[in-house]
Amino acid sequence: MGYNYTTYVAALKTMMVSTDPDTAFDTILPSIIDFAEQRIYRELDLLSTVVSDASTALTQSTRSATISSSFVAVNSISVLTPAGTTTGNGTRVSLTPVSREVLDILWPGSSVTGVPEMFAMTTQWAIAVGPSPDGAYTLEVIGTQRPAPLSVSNPNTFLTDRLPDLFMAASMIFASGYMRNFGTMSSDPQMGQSWEQEYEKLLASANTEELRKHFWAASWSSRPVSPAAVPQRG
Amino acid sequence: MATSGTVAFNPAIGALTLYAFSLCGIRRTAILQEHMADARMAAGLMLTSWDNDTPNLWRVDLVTETLVEGTATYAVDPSVIMVLDAYIRTGEGDTQTDRIIWPVSRTEYAAYPNKELQAPPTSFWFDRLLSPTITMWPVPDGQQGYELHYYAVFQTQDANLANGETADVPPRWLDAFSWGLAARLAVSYAPDRAVALDAKAKEALEIARQQDVENTPMYLAPAIGGYYR
């Protein structure tokens, strides 16, 4: 049984022993949802968050390009050949991820152009390719994006539909803190420690996701470690 | 399934370098400038080392030098490592005649009593200076025009990483190039793999060298013609 926004809020209120009207609950609810969603999306690398975007095109003789700011971590990038074609009629040339240093040394300028062979992430949403493109190739970027958060106007998400139990549990972690008024070190010495532990968990998942952005994750790809793949290659 | 129908495999030196790092366990997104600087140095030194095992047949070229009456010594391109076969050409068209001449060592040249003797050249001394020279003996005379032709082994071209340049080696040597580069880089960046990579590098180089020959019969004959004059 999955949730929708209404049933999720009702269940959450039941778990938190909240009765209407509860304006404080209404105020904290978006934060509860955000906490639960961010943690699950970071830790699970759900396939449902993988998006293919072909809205960006390279500029001839210009090695840099800006990809959609909706991307959290890029999995792969292809150029579609010949120049000017789209995903419907072009042929993909998959680019190899390299460090920016490699790109700067192997393709230092735009004097030599061709079909790009490699790319480097230069910022969160900027890439550089090498060699510099000899045409306006369309980029097909595949990566993860954060789905729209659960709300009144977006009453169903993958988490409420497919992972309702996990979503509720993650929600209750933050809700529990809220119910205890987030405590103080003096009234509850354990409170700070438990938040520190929670921070460490969140930090670990955030760090994993950041490593993925750099293609420094499992096997130096953008993929997280799979516990089923033992031994891990690379 | 169809085969490719192409024989165009000749990756750039940069791509081979990234592969060599991969053999060392260093992934493409973890490579920094210092890695690439060492790779460029290693590639250059490796090709230089291979030059010492010349002749590398793909670097052999025919050089032509017009000889001048009374001039014994001629400059040679500094990138020439070795002179293989040399012959003197006289005449042209139907009257053209090529005659093989023989190399002599510095010691043999020094033993010639009259180094100024002018006659049709029969031997040459390749002096391997930094700016090498070739010295004819006898010194060309004025009886006819002489053209010196010699097959020279040239130094392998520089291995530049930038702009997709390819290595100045035949594709059949690329395996040796990759393993050799990886073996050198492993000393710095993957010492745990250095021994294994060195063994693979030597194996690949040996295979490449064995195939870098002209497939012709070899004849050994004693030089005893002089006894039958």
A112 touches chain B (CB under 8 A): yes
Q: Cβ–Cβ of B164/A102 closer than 8 Å? A: no
Q: Which residues of A touch B162 (CB under 8 A)?
A: 105-108
Give per-10-residue mean pLDDT for chain B (229 aa).
93 97 94 95 97 91 98 98 96 94 96 96 97 98 96 96 96 97 97 97 96 86 72
**Residues A74, A122: one domain?**
yes
Task: Please state, in angstroms and rounded to a whole number, the distance separating the CA atoms of residues B81 and B54.
Answer: 8
In a domain, A136, yes or no: yes
* Domain closes at, from A97, A117, A145: A145
User: Which ipTM value was assigned to this complex?
Assistant: 0.80
Which has the minimum average pLDDT: A202-206, A228-232, B135-139? A228-232
Is the confidence at residue A183, as pLDDT, over 60?
A: no
* Domain ranges within chain B, ordered by starting residue: 13-55+157-211, 59-155
Task: Please state, in angstroms and rounded to a whole number, the distance separating the CA atoms of residues B126 and B13.
Answer: 33
Ranges of beta strands (E only) in chain A are 50-57, 64-66, 71-81, 91-94, 96-97, 113-114, 118-123, 126-130, 132-133, 138-145
Is the confidence at residue A184, as pLDDT, over 60?
A: no
In a domain, A169, yes or no: yes
What are A11-54's pLDDT values in tens digits?
999 988 888 899 999 999 999 999 999 999 998 889 999 999 99
Q: Cβ–Cβ of B15/A117 closer than 8 Å? A: yes
| pLDDT category of residue A79 using cuts at 50, 70 and 90 | very high
| pLDDT category of residue A188 using cuts at 50, 70 and 90 | low
In a domain, A232, yes or no: no
**Residues A43, A55: one domain?**
no
In a domain, A71, yes or no: yes
Domain of residue A204: give its range.
5-47+151-215
**Residues A130, A55: one domain?**
yes
* Domain closes at, from A145, A172, A194: A145
Task: Please state, in angstroms and rounded to a whole number, the distance separating the CA atoms of residues B95 and B65.
Answer: 19
Both structure tokens of B204: 């690949």
**Residues A97, A165: one domain?**
no
**Residues A70, A138: one domain?**
yes
Q: Cβ–Cβ of A101/B15 closer than 8 Å? A: no
Token pair 């745990």 in the structure block, residue: B192
Residues 6 or more apart whose Cβ sits within 8 Å of residue B32 = A99, A101
In a domain, A234, yes or no: no
In a domain, A225, yes or no: no
Q: Cβ–Cβ of B30/A220 closer than 8 Å? A: yes
The count of structural domains within chain A is 2
* Domain closes at, from A86, A115, A145: A145
**Residues A119, A168: one domain?**
no
